[in-house]
Structure 1
Amino acid sequence: MQIIMSHVNTDFDALASLIAAKKLYPDARVVIPNEQTAPVRQFLTIYRDTFDFTEDHQIEWEEVTDLILVDTASLSRLGNYTKKLDPDKLNITVYDHHPPGSNDVGADARFVEPVGATVTLLIEEMIEQKIPVSSFEATLFGLGIYTDTGSFTFPNTTDRDFQAASFLMKNNMNLEIIQRLADYKLTPDQQNLLNQLFREAKTYYKDGLKFIVSAYQIDVYLRELSTITDKLLDISGADTVVTVVKMEKNVHIVGRGNSERVDLTPLLREFDGGGHPQAGSATVRKSDLDDVVEEVKNHIKLILKPAITAEDIMTSPVKMIPPDTKIEEAGRLMYRYGHSGYPVVEDGKLIGIITRRDLDKANHHGLGHAPIKAYMSRNPVTIKLETTIEEMQKLIIDNNIGRLPVMENGQPVGIVTRTNIIEVLHSQKLSDGLRQPEVKNLKNEMKRQLPARTYAMLDDISSTAERADIPVYLIGGIVRDLFLERPNEDIDIVVEGNGIEFANHLQADYGGRVKIHENFGTATWNHPSKLSIDVTSARVEYYDRPASLPDVELSTLNEDLYRRDFTINSMALCLNPETFGDLVDPFKGQADLRSKTIKVLHNLSFIEDPTRILRAVRFETRFNFVMDKQTESLALNSMARMKDLSTHRIVEEMKRMFKDEKPPETIKRLFELHFWQQFGADDDSREASFIHANQLDMLYETHSQFRSNKISWFDYFVIPFYHSGNTNLARRFALTRHNIKFLQDISDLSQIDGWEQISAVGDFQRLLKDYTDDAILFFIANKSFKNEDMIISYLEKRHDIPPLLTGEDLIDQGFKPGRHFKDILMALDVAILNEEIKTKETALDWLHKHFDS
């Protein structure tokens, strides 16, 4: 027997999930708990006869074989029914959206995902199985979603909840009924308890958040403390409310929050309770109210996630300019370094802020030669390193400003802009990444992950840095890959000083050879162990025009890091002995690694170098990261610049993308960013291109003998143009003879008929002898051939055809040289591939039998 059950105090999500599960498991019986929330009781008073519920006394509990649990993963939340179920004898399936708990049952099948409502998971299955939903069912399911997501306003709401609701709207969900039933009206006794709790509320402030703890005692049990707590949260304006109410002998605790910085579950678990990060409850049986309240206060710190501070999100270092700087010069600096504002400093003191808007106004009036001090904003609002994001948000709104200088010891050490704050507020992953404790030193990771000879060489570099008294850093992808625990021996060193001079020091100390690149202030040191290290002077780059090569100036480490492509590649490790392994991370690349985010360092990044867009896609597919919204928007807006690049630069990026990453995903992503469209590919071909690339990838995966021949990047690159009906669009990128032949081959193969009429492996030789393996595989990946296995078998065999007879053999046998030799040898190849001929003797017999000399 199958039964479907949910938790006591059944709410609308639990009720909706029970009914939805019944549609997925039509033979199962629905057992609803005796205790429901007041809104659900009111609903069932009217509609109970509509549902096919089974009373508990009608269940032969010893015959239950399958239990489907919805909106809970804990048997203990089933109330008295817990005693009637033996989990060891049951096949248990769980549908739930709550965070995992210590009391969760061991399930045979778990559908537990962080969506806003459990019924969303069940609706998704109904959509997949094409199970019809009535208007009444759609309305009930909608009640479950609306109440558990706070009408899509709770932080736990996901896009999947919206998609589920959209499906319900298409099935005539009644919003008027949902609004009426979701807004529960308190009874007089419940309203009185709310008033008492409001009067007894104790307010606490921590890191910019407002907390309320309110306690009260009544002699009778009163339902809907959770609803009362919801209303207390609304009228108090607090970020979190915890109510502690003793009713009869038991103390009930309910928590509600409306900030992502709040997670109530650690607090409630102290009392064996649970729920969501922003909503949960617990019951302490036969306890004293004051004791429980004191314990709640002692544990209240558990609910607060670490604050995101100015130090976490600020841009640093800060470029500052003096007040006598001319308007036009300030504009050039903003363009060069990608800033939209500068702190103005005089005699070490911050006296104002100049913004791009200020410059635009001055230039409009022809005042480009005037000093910025006449147009700067004076008495700027400043913040400290420890200022929280909530406090920063309030300052920006209250003062209607776009940036906040961050001060330490009277000096600007960073700047927080409105964009910085918006990015954090709108990226849950980024927020979570910033709140995690930062790694400060990676010396142990370097020793653990790097090959011994590499670590030893870095140790040698450290010694040379100490003798030369110069700051030296390990930079680039190797730092990123230490965090990701990926192998990387591409060693780049940056020196705050003369990189060429330092490379010569290394050669003098340890031998090897140095190759100098004078124009860029760089050198390559070839270590005696055959390792190659690039040594660079810290520098800043700026671009006189988009997509051009940069001009270079010597600078500091932070400026050097700022010129790089993405935050995750803009970290460095100190190599000097006293600070060996210390992380330098001015742009919070570590946080972006944790949140799996690709983020550019400034808004002109893709304009200056459009190939960075292709690198962003490569990192997305390689690491399973995603661009943040601003970076993706900048990529879309800058994609037209791709046409300004040389063919060679594009080809080099494509080789890396299709060699190392996932071709189908890469093709799909480049369509989304409008790369292919820039070169004439049709947007309508994106789906066919993705399918073709996926089939080709699977073909190479299944037949690894072809993969070993090195798949050409070009094979995948051509796919969007092929499905747009014009492979000539790809010709400018065909830089080798093989690429040119490949284009011709796939064009010719499209004109060949009769593939499926061939019934013997050898007969394909006449059809396909002159075409390359990769062109044939490209073609059959896009077609569905019944004899595909035979084509693959032909490709496997054709390179090993033994030369049993040659032209000289034919002459020796009395044949007169001529064009017919080619036909004879072709026929021989066919016979060998069909295994009709295996030796030279049988080949000679075959020759005289079929041909006249």
Structure 2
Amino acid sequence: MQVIISHVNTDFDALASMIAAKKLYPEAQIVITDKQNDAVTQFLNIYRDTLPMMQDRLVDWDQVEELIIVDVAALERTGDYSKQLNRENLTITIYDHHPSKDGDITPEHGRIEPLGAAVTLLIEEIRKQQIPISSFEATIFGLGIYTDTGSFTYAGTTARDLQAASYLMEQGMNLEIIQRFADQMLLPEQQELFNQLFLNTTEYKVDGLNILVAAHEQQKFQGGLSTLTRKLLEMTDADAVLVVVEMQKRVYIIGRASSNRINFLPLLKLWKGGGHEQAGSATIKNGIMAEVLPAVVENMEIILKPAITARDIMTTPVKTLGPKMTIEAAGKLMYRYGHSGFPIVEDGKLLGIISRRDLDKANHHGLGHAPVKGYMSSKIVTIHPETSIEEIQKIMIEHNVGRLPVVENGKLIGILSRTNIIEVLHHKNIETNAVKTEKYEHQLAKRMEEQLPQDIYALLQKISKTASDGNLSVYLIGGIVRDIILGKPNDDVDIVVEGDGIAFAQQLKEGYGGDVLVHESFGTATWEHPSGVKIDVTSSRLEYYERPAALPDVEKSTLREDLERRDFTINAMAIYLTGEKFGEIVDPYLGARDIKQKTIKVLHNLSFVEDPTRIFRAVRFETRFGFKMDNQTESLAVQAMPGIKELSANRILYEMEKMFNEIAPERTIQRLFELGFWQQYDISKQAAASSCIHVKRLKSIYETHSNLGDKNHWFSYFLIPFYKAGQLKQAKQFALTKKEGKLLQEITELTSYVEWRNSSTIAELHQQLKIYSNDAILFMLADETQDFQQFVLSYLEKAQNLPVYLTGADLIKKGLKPSAAFSKILFDLEVAILNNEVASKEMAEQWLEEYLV
């Protein structure tokens, strides 16, 4: 016998999960206890006759061979009959979405995954097996999802819950019924209990959070405590509510929270309870309120996760202005750094703050020459570095300020803006152990050791020691971080020092030997270890652009500002190399997530305007990694493409060489058409398909005849769209070297000189093509028929190393006088060699004898 069960005090997720399980296990019997929450009881009073279920007291539990448990993983929470099911010969399948805890069963089958609702797991299985469901079943399943996710507002809600709900809508889910049962009015008995709880609340201020504890004792059992707890949370400004109620010799603890800093599970586990971090419960049999309530209050601090403080998320060091700086000069600095305000400091004392709005108003009135002191806000609200993020939000709202200076011992040590707060609220990873917002491997030390060459990893350990000894923050940065996450090889090692990078490189030389090459103007140095390994050492720096497409100006900055200047989120990551944090990822823009999702994103909307070559790098990464620009980034690339023509040909060719040396040049050409690059040079998008075909054919020729032509084919690939569109003249601006100019000239000549295509003999082919390079011939050959290709390729293979058996000197020895006939004789000899008629000097001399007769 198969039986489907769930936990006591059945809620809609448990009910929906049992009915969904019946779809997967049609022979199984749904068994429900008498203890349901009030909303489920009301629902069953109407629909019980349409649902295939039986009461637990009617089941012969000895006959049960297989148990399907849903929305719970602890057998003891399924009811009084659980002891009868604790036997070895029972097959158990579990579908649950709660975090595991002591006492949970390890099932033989099923799925336990962290989702907003357990029924989502079963809906996914139903869809996978293509089992049809009715609109009524879709509605019940919807009740499970909507109630357990708080209509998709609870922190545990996932995209999969929303996808499941979308599927249910397609199957006829009735939202009117869901609204009626998911958000019911309280029954009179519930209202009375709610009033008692409301009157018996105590508020506790713990580490910046407001936690409300409500307690009540009564003899009569009243269900729906979770609903009452949720309503208490909604009616107050508390961050969390704990309800403790004693009824019928049991004490019930229910917790609900709106703050992600709350995790009820450590507290509830003291009484073998469970649930989710922000929504859980525990039941204590034979419990006494006088014992349980003090224990709840005494252990309240264990439900708190470490606070995110101003120190964790502030920007530091702070760029400040002096009070005598002019409005005009301050405006230029604000543009350069992209800030919306600056603190005004004199002799270490904070005088005020000036915002972009203040500057705009002053400039509007023609006061660009005036000092900022006269227009700054001198009423300053400051915070301490240990102020929690919750308190910071309240201060910003209360005082209507967008930035807060962080002051410690009278000294300005940082500044917090709305941007810092928004980043945390939207789950961007910050440099603190207090929060791990992105579900990704934050500690990469082991992966570094396994993946990096042994000598490089050993040097990073030495760098870590030197940084720790000097109390410096040093990071591994750039493409190597991305490739460590991707599991791809990369021995191009760049490190960034928050401090003097050149001085740090000299320290490495003094400590471990080698040489240092200094680039003073850029604040960078290259340390070459005696083993030959080179490490680029850089001071963290900020780049700003005076105008679009210009080369950047550079100055020292913080790591965060250094990462802000990067091209894409996947390249805006760093790895700590200092001390205990060795191997910890710094990922403020969620680059690791984008790597997982194979997405390329710019860091800000003007990224491509400032440096249009980033468009080429985006295409290169798409080709190399199989990634794709997100819609916003691609749109920005298309908008910025006209700026490409502001770049020098050198800068464009530098990027083209890198792109076309990737594994799929045809993909590169296609993407550049899609983004509008070729169109900047009067090449119609209609040439895209033929260009891609041409590059594939040319690439195939190079692969099968690798001995022919140049080893580097990128410039040939680059010329293809110009050739296919009849715009080779436009390509002249890119033929910067003698070699590139010659190739372009030869392709241009062969395009208009069609006689070579009519060659039918080796002699004709040699006559037409001997003056052209193999690369030019192969370029044109990609446009020809297969048979003609083989004919010409056979010729090129023979002509590649054509032996010289006779020269003009040999002809003179034979008594011939130098004349134009020499060229004809030697040409005819080459044709004979190509036709396999002559294979040695002796044969050549005999051929000549016969030729002259």
Structure-2-length-normalised TM-score: 0.70
Whole-angstrom CA distance in 2 between matches of 1:459 and 1:430: 24
Could you tell me which of 648, 651, 657 is aligned with 2:653? 648
Whole-angstrom CA distance in 1 between matches of 2:467 and 2:86: 68
Paired letter, 1:169: M
2:796 aligns with none
SS of the aligned residue for 1:435 comes to coil
SS of the aligned residue for 2:79 comes to helix
1:816-835 to structure 2, matched below 5 A, reads none
Q: Deviations over 1:198-248 (max 9, x none)?
A: 222111012321101222222233322222222322333321111222223
Task: Rate the CA distance shift 1:191–1:515 in 2: closer, same or farther, 3 A.
Answer: closer
Alignment of 1:476 with 2:477, yes or no, is: yes
Contact in 1 for aligned 2:502/2:523 (Cα 8 Å): yes
Task: Rate the CA distance shift 1:501–1:344 in 2: closer, same or farther, 3 A.
Answer: closer
Task: Rate the CA distance shift 1:680–1:67 in 2: closer, same or farther, 3 A.
Answer: farther
Q: Deviations over 1:77-123 (max 9, x none)?
A: 22133234356434433222212222222223332332222222323
Whole-angstrom CA distance in 1 between matches of 2:260 and 2:433: 13
Q: Deviations over 1:328-384 (max 9, x none)?
A: 211211222222221111232222222222223333333322322233222122222
Shift of 1:300: 1.2
Task: Rate the CA distance shift 1:621–1:109 in 2: closer, same or farther, 3 A.
Answer: farther
1:319 aligns with 319
Greater CA drift, 283-292 or 10-19: 283-292
Paired letter, 2:119: V
Paired letter, 1:524: T
Shift of 1:322: 1.2
Q: Deviations over 1:672-697 (max 9, x none)?
A: xx99434479xxx9xxx9xx9xxx9x
Contact in 1 for aligned 2:467/2:474 (Cα 8 Å): no
**Aligned Cα root-mean-square deviation (Å):** 5.6
1:18 aligns with 18
Task: Rate the CA distance shift 1:351–1:572 in 2: closer, same or farther, 3 A.
Answer: farther
Task: Rate the CA distance shift 1:412–1:134 in 2: closer, same or farther, 3 A.
Answer: same
SS of the aligned residue for 1:344 comes to strand
Paired letter, 2:276: H
Q: Deviations over 1:263-287 (max 9, x none)?
A: 1112111110111112111111223
2:554 aligns with 552
Task: Rate the CA distance shift 1:584–1:341 in 2: closer, same or farther, 3 A.
Answer: farther
Whole-angstrom CA distance in 2 between matches of 1:187 and 1:505: 75
Whole-angstrom CA distance in 2 between matches of 1:495 and 1:241: 46
Whole-angstrom CA distance in 1 between matches of 2:94 and 2:726: 51
Greater CA drift, 142-151 or 470-479: 470-479
1:181 aligns with 181
Whole-angstrom CA distance in 1 between matches of 2:117 and 2:324: 59
Contact in 2 for aligned 1:321/1:345 (Cα 8 Å): yes
Contact in 2 for aligned 1:338/1:603 (Cα 8 Å): no
Shift of 1:135: 2.7
Task: Rate the CA distance shift 1:151–1:249 in 2: closer, same or farther, 3 A.
Answer: same
Paired letter, 1:106: T
Task: Rate the CA distance shift 1:476–1:54 in 2: closer, same or farther, 3 A.
Answer: same
Task: Rate the CA distance shift 1:540–1:289 in 2: closer, same or farther, 3 A.
Answer: closer
Shift of 1:321: 0.6
Alignment of 1:239 with 2:239, yes or no, is: yes
1:327-726 to structure 2, matched below 5 A, reads 327-427=327-427, 434-436=434-436, 453-454=455-456, 473=474, 475-477=476-478, 480=481, 489-492=491-494, 515=517, 517=519, 520=522, 522-536=524-538, 540-553=542-555, 563-564=565-566, 581=579, 589=587, 605=607, 607-610=609-612, 636-637=635-636, 640-641=639-640, 644=644, 646-651=651-656, 654=659, 676-679=674-677
SS of the aligned residue for 1:220 comes to coil
Task: Rate the CA distance shift 1:143–1:539 in 2: closer, same or farther, 3 A.
Answer: closer
Whole-angstrom CA distance in 1 between matches of 2:426 and 2:450: 36
1:33 aligns with 33
Greater CA drift, 111-120 or 426-435: 426-435
Greater CA drift, 311-320 or 183-192: 183-192
Paired letter, 1:221: F
Task: Rate the CA distance shift 1:532–1:199 in 2: closer, same or farther, 3 A.
Answer: same
Structure 1: where are the runs of 5+ without partners? 575-579, 701-705, 753-765, 773-816, 825-853
Q: Percent same amino acid at aligned positions?
A: 50
1:156 aligns with 156
Task: Rate the CA distance shift 1:657–1:295 in 2: closer, same or farther, 3 A.
Answer: farther
Shift of 1:611: 5.2
Task: Rate the CA distance shift 1:675–1:341 in 2: closer, same or farther, 3 A.
Answer: farther
Q: Deviations over 1:279-303 (max 9, x none)?
A: 1111112232221112212221121
Whole-angstrom CA distance in 2 between matches of 1:423 and 1:368: 33
SS of the aligned residue for 1:641 comes to helix
Paired letter, 1:677: L
Contact in 1 for aligned 2:575/2:585 (Cα 8 Å): no
Whole-angstrom CA distance in 2 between matches of 1:23 and 1:728: 65
Whole-angstrom CA distance in 1 between matches of 2:315 and 2:584: 7
Q: Deviations over 1:495-546 (max 9, x none)?
A: 7888778867877887755555465454434333212233446654332223
2:264 aligns with 264
Whole-angstrom CA distance in 2 between matches of 1:157 and 1:243: 23
Paired letter, 1:275: G
Structure 2: where are the runs of 5+ without partners? 680-684, 701-705, 744-772, 794-828, 837-853
Contact in 1 for aligned 2:573/2:591 (Cα 8 Å): no
Shift of 1:462: 9.4
Greater CA drift, 205-214 or 738-747: 738-747
Task: Rate the CA distance shift 1:744–1:76 in 2: closer, same or farther, 3 A.
Answer: farther
Whole-angstrom CA distance in 1 between matches of 2:43 and 2:498: 72
SS of the aligned residue for 2:271 comes to coil
2:8 aligns with 8
Q: Deviations over 1:769-792 (max 9, x none)?
A: 6899xxxxxxxxxxxxxxxxxxxx
Contact in 1 for aligned 2:321/2:345 (Cα 8 Å): yes
Greater CA drift, 142-151 or 512-521: 512-521
1:216 aligns with 216
1:731-810 to structure 2, matched below 5 A, reads none
Whole-angstrom CA distance in 1 between matches of 2:431 and 2:126: 34
Paired letter, 1:641: A
Greater CA drift, 611-620 or 281-290: 611-620
Greater CA drift, 353-362 or 503-512: 503-512
Task: Rate the CA distance shift 1:573–1:249 in 2: closer, same or farther, 3 A.
Answer: closer
Alignment of 1:108 with 2:100, yes or no, is: no
Shift of 1:75: 2.1
2:305 aligns with 305
Shift of 1:447: 9.3
Task: Rate the CA distance shift 1:495–1:393 in 2: closer, same or farther, 3 A.
Answer: closer
Whole-angstrom CA distance in 2 between matches of 1:465 and 1:429: 24
Structure-1-length-normalised TM-score: 0.70
Contact in 2 for aligned 1:403/1:416 (Cα 8 Å): yes
